[in-house]
Amino acid sequence: MSEHPCQPQNGKNNSRRQGAFQIYTGEGKGKSTASMGLTLRALGAGLKVYYLRMMKPRWKTGELAICPTLHPNLTYRNVQQEWLLSKSRHIPEHVEKMQKALATEMDSLETTVTSGLYDLVIVDEINYCLYRELIPLERAISLVDQRPDKVELVFTGRHAPDALIERAGVVTEMRKVKHHFDEGIRARRGIEF
């Protein structure tokens, strides 16, 4: 009789865990929220988590207010940037500045992932950065390919590239069926940010 895939093999918690590469993408709400839920689950299981938030609006979100001091096993970083979601992509100086900042972040992220010090590494909004050509796709592919087997790596954001989807073991697409933003309701603190 085969064991259920959600149960530890032989009823034991394997000390040598196999990591996967996951992507949360799509036009619907919930990609970053899902990654935060995974963060809480991992912390509750005693795993070490590195969470890098690459491209979020400049206002202070709920997770930015609590995560830096939430748990000793969580390293939570937010890329300092002045990117304006609706404008910066049309301003060459903003694009160039962000490309330089994210190149430095990718160097640091590569060191973090390959060190194996963290069980779970989440890179929030990297797919958007790839889509806007703020990070070369080759850098992201290299990061995925260098990931140690035990490290769970998660990329979030709209427009996940096919080359990454092909490499992923888990891909979840959030599909918008309906959203009150379309009715003119603004983002609500504690719910959308």
Sign of CA dihedral 116, 117, 118, 121: negative
Domain annotation covers residue 76:
yes
pLDDT bracket for residue 15 (50, 70, 90): low
Domain encompassing residue 77: 16-176
pLDDT tens-place string over residues 126-166: 999 999 999 999 999 999 999 999 999 999 999 999 999 99
pLDDT score for 11: 43
Q: How many domains does the chain have?
A: 1
Domain annotation covers residue 133:
yes
Per the model's pLDDT, the better-predicted residue between 10 and 176 turns out to be 176
pLDDT score for 89: 87
Domain annotation covers residue 6:
no
pLDDT tens-place string over residues 16-68: 579 999 999 999 989 999 999 999 999 999 999 999 999 875 567 888 888 98
Mean pLDDT of the chain: 88
Q: Do the beta carbons of residue 27 and residue 176 sit within 8 Å?
A: yes
Domain annotation covers residue 190:
no
Domain annotation covers residue 167:
yes
Domain annotation covers residue 140:
yes
pLDDT score for 59: 62
Domain annotation covers residue 120:
yes
* pLDDT above 60 (res 9): no
Helix pair 92-115, 137-146: axis angle to 10 deg:
10
Domain annotation covers residue 149:
yes
Domain containing residue 89: CATH number: 3.40.50.300
